[in-house]
Each structure stands twice: as C-alpha cells, then as structure tokens.
Amino acid sequence: DGGITQSPKYLFRKEGQNVTLSCEQNLNHDAMYWYRQDPGQGLRLIYYSQIVNDFQKGDIAEGYSVSREKKESFPLTVTSAQKNPTAFYLCASSIGLGTSGKETQYFGPGTRLLVL
Amino acid sequence: EDQVTQSPEALRLQEGESSSLNCSYTVSGLRGLFWYRQDPGKGPEFLFTLYSAGEEKEKERLKATLTKKESFLHITAPKPEDSATYLCAVWGQKLVFGQGTRLTINP
C-alpha cells in the first residue's frame, strides 16, 4: 500500500527539549511539506522540499528545522526555540510542485505534540 | 495576499437534508482549488481538484463547483458518515487553506 506514515502519533516535549517528528512516503513523490494545525485556524506551512537536499522555509519556520537526505523521508525537528509547540503536525507530499496536475497534496495521519 | 474564507464555520443537518458549503477566495492567478475531508484526529483526505471556472467534479454524494470567486461543495442526501470537517485550499503563488467547515449529520 502506498502512502504517508508519520510517527509517533503522540509526542510529549519537556521544556528546553528538541523533538523530531518522522515522515516517510512510498509514493515516489518529489515534493514534501510540513504543516501545523491549530484549532480554528487553517493549516500553516512550516517547511517544504521540492527535491532531495533542498528545502525552503514556509510561513512559520521559526523554531523548526528539517532535513531531506532521502526522497522518502522528511523529518521535522521542533527546537526549544519554538515557544508554543503544542499543535497537530501534518506531513504531506505531492508528485511535484507548480505544475498543473502534479501539485495535489496527500497527507499523513498526523502527530499531536504536547508540552509537559 | 491570497485569502480563503469558508462558511459556515459549522453546519448541522439531518440525515437526507441536502446543503452546500462555501469557499470564497481572492488570489492572483488561480492555479487550482482543492477540497479535503478531515476526520477528528486524522490527516486530511483528498477529495477534488478544480482548475477553472465552470468545472464540476462529483464523488458519491459530493459535488464540487468552481466560479471565479468561490467554490461550493454540495452534499446531496447526506448520511451520518459524511460528518467531518471539510477544508478548502487555493493554489495561487502558494497553497492557502481555509479554516474549514465542521459538518455534522444527525441520524
């Protein structure tokens, strides 16, 4: 079955701690994305990557970091600099970016991050 | 700046009671409009992509339509399993999501 997996489903962060959220896809998609979802708000883009070893900041990148060492994987690290990290984090992928018909994004099941 | 507004924020219907959800947008150069369904605690599930005004797409009880200013998601004779939050997103210079419409279908 092709799809996007995210782990863990729930993650608890202590103050001052960095935590990493995993995102893996076996759809052979080039582009991958990280979003943050807060109650009553639309999804907000944190980072995106069009190809391996390249990524771009989204609208709310401060306090987050990513890497794209493999096509299949796009982990997100929530650093201690992110002062309000409690949210539902969603990873997505698309065939490509900016080309009609290839930009539809497919989402993973999400990771809920809570602060202890 | 590209903007998306969905209305209503929440809608409660009886089973079989048809209705429509609205997605109004302002975007410089629409390249696509997307509809997703999201169940509580889960990731959004892709429903439709619309590319140009006048385009329509259907899937079971759902039909999405597009004009130059808005899109509608029509739900015909809904069932309780159609209860979810429906998200709209527009692709102009970047993908912008609306805040969603929470739909509840009572049996």
Average pLDDT over residues A55-65: 96
pLDDT, residue B66, reads 97
Task: Write out chain B in H/E/C secondary structure.
Answer: CCEEEEECCEEEEECCCCEEEEEEEECCCCCEEEEEEECCCCCCEEEEEECCCCCEEEECCEEEEECCCEEEEEECCCCHHHCEEEEEEEECCCEEECCCEEEEEEC
The pLDDT-based confidence of A35 (bands split at 50, 70, 90) is: very high
Residue A98 has pLDDT above 70, yes or no: no
Is the pLDDT at B18 greater than 80? The verdict is yes
Asked if the Cβ–Cβ distance from B51 to A105 is below 8 Å, we say no
Query: How does pLDDT run across B28-68, given as a tens digit for each residue?
Result: 889 999 999 999 999 999 999 999 999 999 999 999 999 99
pLDDT confidence tier of residue B1, bands split at 50, 70 and 90 = confident
CA distances from A2 to A75, A106, A108, B47, B71 (A): 19, 11, 11, 17, 30
pLDDT for A1: 62
Reply yes or no on whether the pLDDT at A7 is more than 80.
Answer: yes
Question: B42 at the A interface (CB within 8 A)?
Answer: yes
Instruction: Please say if the pLDDT value at position A113 is more than 70.
Output: yes
Do residue B97 and residue A43 have CB atoms under 8 angstroms apart? Answer: yes
| Contacts of residue A84, Cβ cutoff 8 Å, sequence gap at least 6 | none
pLDDT at position A15, please?
86
> What's the mean pLDDT when you consider all of chain B?
96
- Would you say residue A24 has pLDDT above 90? yes
- The dihedral sign for the CA sequence A60, A62, A63, A67: positive
Question: Chain A residue closest to B6 (CA)?
Answer: A42
Specify the pLDDT at position A116. 84
Interface test with A, best of B30, B86, B97, B101 (most A CBs within 10 A): B97
Instruction: Check CB contact of A93 with chain B, cutoff 8 Å.
Output: no
B90 touches chain A (CB under 8 A): no
CB proximity B34 to A under 8 Å = yes
The rounded mean pLDDT for chain A is 93
On whether any CB of chain B is under 8 Å from the CB of A100, the answer is yes
Say how many residues make up chain A: 116
**Whole-number percent of chain A with pLDDT over 90:** 79
User: Considering CB atoms only, which of B32, B45, B100 is closest to A100?
Assistant: B32
Compute the nearest-CA separation of A7 from chain B (Å): 13
Q: Does B35 touch chain A (CB under 8 A)?
A: no
Residues 6+ positions from B96 with CB-CB distance below 8 Å:
A42, B2, B3, B4, B27, B89, B90
pLDDT of residue B93: 82
B61 CB neighbour count, 10 Å cutoff: 14
pLDDT of amino acid A100: 66
- Whether A17 has a pLDDT exceeding 70, the answer reads yes
Query: What pLDDT does residue A96 have?
Result: 82
